Amino acid sequence: MNDNLREKFIAIVGAKNARVSQDDIAPYLHEWRDRWEGKSDLVLLPANTQEVSQILALATETKTPVVPQGGHTGLVGGGMPDMSGDAIILATGRMNKVRNIDTAGNTITVEAGCILQSVQEAADEAGKLFPLSLGAQGSCQIGGNLSSNAGGTGALAYGVARDLVLGLEVVLPTGEILNDLNALKKDNTGYNLRHLFIGAEGTLGIITAAVLKLFPKPKGQVTAFLALETPAAALELFQTARDFAGQSLTAFELMPRLGVEFTSKHVDGVRDPLTEPYPWYVLIEVSSGESEAHAQSLLENLLENQMEAGIVIDGAVAASVSQSKEFWHLREAMSESQKPEGGSIKHDISVPVHAIPSFMQDAEKAVLAIEPNARICAFGHLGDGNLHYNISQPVGADKQEFLAMDAVITPAVHALVLNYNGSISAEHGIGQMKRDELAEVKDPVALDLMRRIKANFDPAGIMNPNKVI
Amino acid sequence: MNDNLREKFIAIVGAKNARVSQDDIAPYLHEWRDRWEGKSDLVLLPANTQEVSQILALATETKTPVVPQGGHTGLVGGGMPDMSGDAIILATGRMNKVRNIDTAGNTITVEAGCILQSVQEAADEAGKLFPLSLGAQGSCQIGGNLSSNAGGTGALAYGVARDLVLGLEVVLPTGEILNDLNALKKDNTGYNLRHLFIGAEGTLGIITAAVLKLFPKPKGQVTAFLALETPAAALELFQTARDFAGQSLTAFELMPRLGVEFTSKHVDGVRDPLTEPYPWYVLIEVSSGESEAHAQSLLENLLENQMEAGIVIDGAVAASVSQSKEFWHLREAMSESQKPEGGSIKHDISVPVHAIPSFMQDAEKAVLAIEPNARICAFGHLGDGNLHYNISQPVGADKQEFLAMDAVITPAVHALVLNYNGSISAEHGIGQMKRDELAEVKDPVALDLMRRIKANFDPAGIMNPNKVI
């Protein structure tokens, strides 16, 4: 980029909101899992939608690549520029206002740079619930959550990020501003555009604000940590729980023994809630809009039924809020607990819910055929058909050697996923990590439509190049 | 169309599945409200997706306009060809198979030509609920429901048609088949294409099949017909009901006294459930996933609270399934009951839920300023912010003279809707009826994107021309 152009970009946000030295830029290029590398000479921190519009208009005019970046917590390299150093990073963190909270209408209007947790807190202070919830909530930004259509533990009862959005404001690659900050439940006036931008990972434009749905806060909530023999038993429990509790079933997370061992060993404050070891565990949460007693009675009836049926073989019901937090801490620590165990080959997959047990059997067989001592630590959102199918290296193996097996293990796992009509990216997205693979597995007509939309919306090809498609 | 081309089209479906005489074509050109007229010389009834694909490929090649038609129950002229007679009608009624029902996975895969009621029945026989429900359900087809993103009474608890779809099969204008018959709750592999086709009213392609969500059947359900003083009281009741019953509140329909008078007078089997007249009524339904007793206790607690607060001033709780059906019959008869009262100027609008009472005040003032003896019969889905804001002619007035006032009344009502950031088409769509108006009121950037998508997906401009955009 020549100095003249560079100065024009900087002038849009003002010098103090541009990062120009490599020292200042470094944090924007450091990706927390050390998996991707990238280069850039300029980070811009716009204050508002107008500045984003000016940046993108200039970028399209001068064919300058732009990589949007929120909290930089993504898992597929979507917020990282390539190694050419040609791209500007547009960081949304300064656009962090809650524009409006409408408690009667049950909506909150937020800017892209709001931290997810601050959106949850703003809702909570207004006596409402914003149910999107995930491990990175203390640092991820809502703009990134929407661009990647985040899932998380609340998706079971409330849907994924896409389902929580009523309206969007988006700056198009040309700098035009799409004003669709709609707060209506029903609006059939033409093509639905918002769902194109949600999940597009910043390749079609930059989401600058959104109208999100709020929900009533549950009046009662109970959590239990249950032991089971098999994933098939967990599926049986899930289906009975849905039948007993319906929409009141607000979390259903599957965990293997290995995950409980890893977290107890490596993560502060985690201990196994049960005295005996069991092969599988489920963290279940039941919420009631009526009362604490109602939530308790729903859970008690379910547990009585499922213990009698031999499905639940042991368990602990949280006796206090802090005990419930301990159960959740165990679940949420599962990702980080794998790192001290060496190399981990990870998959974020989904299959139809009822296929989870047979998929797990097939996948275990396939993985152990490749590496008989691999340690499978598959856990996650069983009720959404979504597993983090992670595989830790054999004890004492060489980390790099094991990670190199990714080249055979991932194709084997993904081939099974596709056999089950599943998805190779359930909630993390495509980014740069799965871009080549997507081109191989996606319906060719869908791919062609995606490419046509991309070319049409972003004729200069400036928006987050080489991501997704 | 020359005879050669005509024969090619007929050959795709076979002579017995083509309608070529004006007598046979007439039913496809007769629109039930006698509002729109159209001409066509050829109706094709394909048996399957492959035949639809061949028809559209030939149509694109020869620039022949194609108007898709489902149950032909739409309210905005979306399924009607224009008067040129150039368009083929592609009727989806023969593609009416339930391809698959997955009770463990809670999905049903249906072809576009399935009658909505038959989808409901198939779900019911499998012990599940398919919650999309609307007046025309005995004749409308699911393909049309999805193409128009239908709403209806079930939208309050289960969402609009869009929210009930997991996957789609679509034939593009070029004849290519998009296979996105996904049954997954979480799938982040690229741009979401299905939401573009849902609600596009057949202008971007033809939906040939869909994977729909099923829900557990409620174990208990109670209905009540309640009397209130004002729409503001109805809003208060709605908000308290949501607070008391949460997701168990499965219907909340507002009706004016005039509507009860019209239906009691003109529709067989309808009588006023209450002995005294009241200004406003709400039909409320509470469903429980637990038991009949639970549904009853939720409703009883609510009514006790709201009668004590002076919000609910009278009411009847259905004592039997047949009484509940009577309440629903009254509500569902409200549309047809307006016809015997003469001319009716209708609006399908939405505003943010909490703005309903003040919108109604403003709109009444605006309408009565134009015609002081107009009789406003506004009713509908209060909980979705969606009203059918209908206005009957003054008693004894000339029908045509009154209907001509549409030219001033509709702009006045729609201007208020836009003031409240509402929608001029909440659930019926744009079709040909509101196409010109949409071009005036829609965000210009959104309109431009819609036009670009249309031109890109349908370069020959064959798909349902002059509808929506």
Q: What is the SS3 assignment for chain A?
A: CCHHHHHHHHHHHCHHHEECCHHHHHHHHCCCCCCCCCCCCCEECCCCHHHHHHHHHHHHHHCCCEEEECCCCCCCCCCCCCCCCCCEEEECCCCCCEEEEECCCCEEEEECCCEHHHHHHHHHHCCEECCCCCCCCCCCEHHHHHHCCCCCCCHHHHCCHHHHEEEEEEECCCCCEEEECCCCCCCCCCCCCHHHHCCCCCCCCEEEEEEEECEECCCEEEEEEEEECCHHHHHHHHHHHHHHHHHHEEEEEEEEHHHHHHHHHHCCCCCCCCCCCCCEEEEEEEEECCCHHHHHHHHHHHHHHHHHCCCCCEEEECCCHHHHHHHHHHHHCCCHHHHHHCCEECCEEECCHHHHHHHHHHHHHHHHHHCCCCEEEEEEEHHHCEEEEEEECCCCCCHHHHHHCHHHHHHHHHHHHHHCCCECCCCCCCCCCCHHHHHHHCCHHHHHHHHHHHHHHCCCCCECCCCCC
Residues of chain B found within 8 Å of residue A200, distances taken between Cβ atoms: 191
Give residue B362's pLDDT.
Answer: 98
Minimum Cα–Cα distance from A448: chain B residue: B178
pLDDT tens digit sequence for B150-182: 999 899 999 999 999 999 999 999 999 999 999
Give residue A438's pLDDT.
Answer: 96
CA distance B355 to A107: 13
The one-letter code for the residue type at B344 is S
Strands (E), B92-241: 98-102, 107-111, 128-129, 165-171, 177-180, 206-213, 215-216, 220-228
CA distance A61 to A49: 18
Structure tokens at B140: 């409308």
- The arithmetic mean of pLDDT across residues A305-331, rounded, is 96
pLDDT tens digit sequence for A323-377: 999 999 999 999 889 999 999 999 999 999 999 999 999 999 999 999 999 999 9
Tell me the pLDDT band of B306, cut-offs 50, 70 and 90. very high
Tell me the pLDDT band of A246, cut-offs 50, 70 and 90. confident
Would an 8 Å CB–CB cutoff place A233 in contact with chain B?
no
Pick from B243, B355, B445: CB nearest A179: B445
- The arithmetic mean of pLDDT across residues B372-383, rounded, is 96
Residues of chain B found within 8 Å of residue A192, distances taken between Cβ atoms: 149, 162, 195-196, 198-199
Pick from B190, B426, B443: CB nearest A178: B443
- The arithmetic mean of pLDDT across residues B186-209, rounded, is 98
Check CB contact under 8 Å for B247 and A183: no
Taking alpha carbons only, the member of A134, A146, A149 closest to residue A206 is A146
Give residue A276's pLDDT.
Answer: 97
Q: How far is A414 from chain B (nearest CA, A)?
A: 13
Phi, psi of B36 (to 5 degrees): -120, 150
pLDDT tens digit sequence for B328-344: 999 999 988 999 999 99
Q: How far is A333 from chain B (nearest CA, A)?
A: 22
Residue A247 confidence (pLDDT) above 90: no
Tell me the pLDDT band of A53, cut-offs 50, 70 and 90. very high
Give residue A435's pLDDT.
Answer: 96
Tell me the pLDDT band of A201, cut-offs 50, 70 and 90. very high
Check CB contact under 8 Å for B176 and A242: no
Residues of chain A found within 8 Å of residue B429, distances taken between Cβ atoms: 188
Would an 8 Å CB–CB cutoff place A266 in contact with chain B?
no
Q: For chain B, percent helix, then strand, then coil, each to nearest 5?
A: 40, 20, 40
- The arithmetic mean of pLDDT across residues B253-262, rounded, is 98
Residue B32 confidence (pLDDT) above 80: no
Check CB contact under 8 Å for A160 and B351: no
Average pLDDT, chain B: 96
Tell me the pLDDT band of A34, cut-offs 50, 70 and 90. confident
Distance of CA A338 to CAs A160, A319, A346, A397, B397, Å? 26, 29, 10, 15, 78
Q: Which of B101, B168, B188, B239 to mutate to test the interface with A (most CBs of A within 10 A)?
A: B188
Name the region of B17 (left: φ>0; alpha: ψ -120 to 50; beta: rest): alpha
CA dihedral B407, B412, B415, B417 (to 10 degrees): -110
Q: Which of B217, B348, B449 to mutate to test the interface with A (most CBs of A within 10 A)?
A: B449
Chain B, residues 336-395, CB within 8 A of chain A, namely 350-355, 381, 384-386
Give residue A31's pLDDT.
Answer: 83
Residues of chain A found within 8 Å of residue B169, distances taken between Cβ atoms: none
Lowest pLDDT segment from A109-123, A328-342, B52-66, B159-173: A328-342
Within 10 A of B269 (CB to CB), how many other CB atoms are there? 10
Tell me the pLDDT band of A425, cut-offs 50, 70 and 90. very high
Check CB contact under 8 Å for A189 and B424: yes
Residues of chain A found within 8 Å of residue B160, distances taken between Cβ atoms: 185-186
Give residue B1's pLDDT.
Answer: 86
Q: How far apart are the first and last CA of chain A?
A: 25
- The arithmetic mean of pLDDT across residues A18-25, rounded, is 98
Would an 8 Å CB–CB cutoff place A188 in contact with chain B?
yes
Report yes or no: B348 and B152 within 8 Å, Cβ to Cβ.
no
DSSP state of B145: H
Q: How far is B202 from chain A (nearest CA, A)?
A: 11
pLDDT tens digit sequence for B433-456: 999 999 999 999 999 999 999 999
Pick from A193, A290, A438: CB nearest B189: A438
Would an 8 Å CB–CB cutoff place A248 in contact with chain B?
yes
Give residue B104's pLDDT.
Answer: 83
Check CB contact under 8 Å for A198 and B178: no
Pick from B204, B353, B425: CB nearest A189: B425
Residue A165 confidence (pLDDT) above 90: yes
Q: For residue A39, what are the contacts with CB-CB under 8 A and spacing of at least 6?
A: A29, A81, A82, A83, A84, A85
Give residue A39's pLDDT.
Answer: 97
Taking alpha carbons only, the member of A130, A134, A122, A114 closest to residue A164 is A130
Chain B, residues 26-85, CB within 8 A of chain A, namely none
Length of chain A: 469
Lowest pLDDT segment from A25-34, B400-409, B440-449: A25-34
CA distance B411 to B413: 6
A225: which strand partners? A283, A316
- The arithmetic mean of pLDDT across residues A415-441, rounded, is 96
Residue tagged 């400036």 (tokens): A462
CA distance B152 to B315: 24
Residue tagged 């409901």 (tokens): B120
Q: Is B416 helix (H, G, I), strand (E, B) or coil?
A: helix
Minimum Cα–Cα distance from A107: chain B residue: B352
Minimum Cα–Cα distance from A467: chain B residue: B190
Tell me the pLDDT band of A271, cut-offs 50, 70 and 90. very high
Report yes or no: A42 and A89 within 8 Å, Cβ to Cβ.
yes
- The arithmetic mean of pLDDT across residues B370-374, rounded, is 98
- CA angle A278–A283–A285, rounded 5-degree value: 150
Check CB contact under 8 Å for A192 and B182: no
Check CB contact under 8 Å for A446 and B247: no
- The arithmetic mean of pLDDT across residues A403-420, rounded, is 97
Give residue A104's pLDDT.
Answer: 83
CA distance B287 to B216: 11
CA distance A239 to A356: 13
